[in-house]
Structure 1
Amino acid sequence: MTVLVGYLPTAEGEAAFTAAVDEAKRRGEDLLVVNSPRGGAPVSAEAADPERLAALTAEAGRSGVALRLRTTPHTGELADELLHVAAQESASVIVIGLRRRSPVGKLFLGSTAQRILLTADRPVLAVKP
């Protein structure tokens, strides 16, 4: 089994990564980091730079956790991509970072985290920075 974490280079993404490393270590499982930029976008804030990805790999290694990276661009919604990868990889848990949003913001803009929490068919660990 695998612990899957949706990673963005943000405070929320860092919190999710830290929690995912702890969870993978506790479960004795590998860690799969999904950092999937939107396909076709000329610039994406979702994509972590190679130096940050190397640092994540080193940090997991220091904790004794084997890490795999998945940086394939996605089309459509990020929530759908994470749920698809979770099913494909038989992830035991999905770890995501949460940011504070007002109810009105959620109503108009939707929420990737909310969609994952409501539709995932496996446990979801949601953390805040």
Structure 2
Amino acid sequence: MKILVGYVPSPEGEAALTAAATEAELRGASVLLLNTSRGDSYIDARYANADELAAAEAKLRAHGVEVTIQQAVTEGDVAGALLKAAAAEDVGLIVLGLRRRSPVGKLILGSTAQRVLLESPVPVLAVKVPSPHD
């Protein structure tokens, strides 16, 4: 089995990475780490640099998990890139980190996670970053 984790260098991405490592370890699965950018990868903070990818890979390997890393620049369709990778790589689970957004923000901008949750043909594990009060 293969698990796809949508990774960005952020608290949400780290939460997704941790959950993917745990799931892969439990299931004896490998992980496909997909990092995408919606535009110019040189100024997009969501596009991981070499050090951030190396740290993410090391975290997964510390759990004894085999990992493959892919990076892609999308035309603003991150959900589409995740769904396309899931289909192409025949994954059995998608893991995403969720960020807090206002109801207006969700209405106006839509949600990558929401689209993946609704359109994915495989189960999706959505991970929320614990608040400091949890």
Q: Shorter chain as normaliser: what TM range?
A: over 0.9
How many residue pairs match? The answer is 129
User: Partner of 1:71: helix, strand, or coil?
Assistant: strand
Residue 126 of structure 1 is matched in structure 2 by 126
User: Partner of 1:72: helix, strand, or coil?
Assistant: strand
How far off is 1:34 after superposition? Answer: 0.2
Amino acid at match of 2:59: E
Residue 47 of structure 1 is matched in structure 2 by 47
Question: Runs of 4 or more off by more than 6 Å in structure 1?
Answer: none
CA deviation vs aligned residue, 1:5-45 (integer Å, no higher than 9, x gap): 00011110000000001111111010010012235555211
TM-score (norm 2): 0.90
How far off is 1:113 after superposition? Answer: 0.7
CA, structure 1 residues 118+54, in 2 after alignment: closer, same or farther (shift >3 Å)?
Answer: same
Matched, 1:89 2:89: yes
Aligned equivalents of 1:103, 1:38: Cα separation in 2? 22
Gaps in structure 2 of 5+ consecutive residues: 130-134
Residue 107 of structure 2 is matched in structure 1 by 107
Amino acid at match of 2:85: V
TM-score (norm 1): 0.94
User: Partner of 1:69: helix, strand, or coil?
Assistant: strand
Amino acid at match of 1:11: P
CA-atom RMSD, angstroms? Answer: 1.3
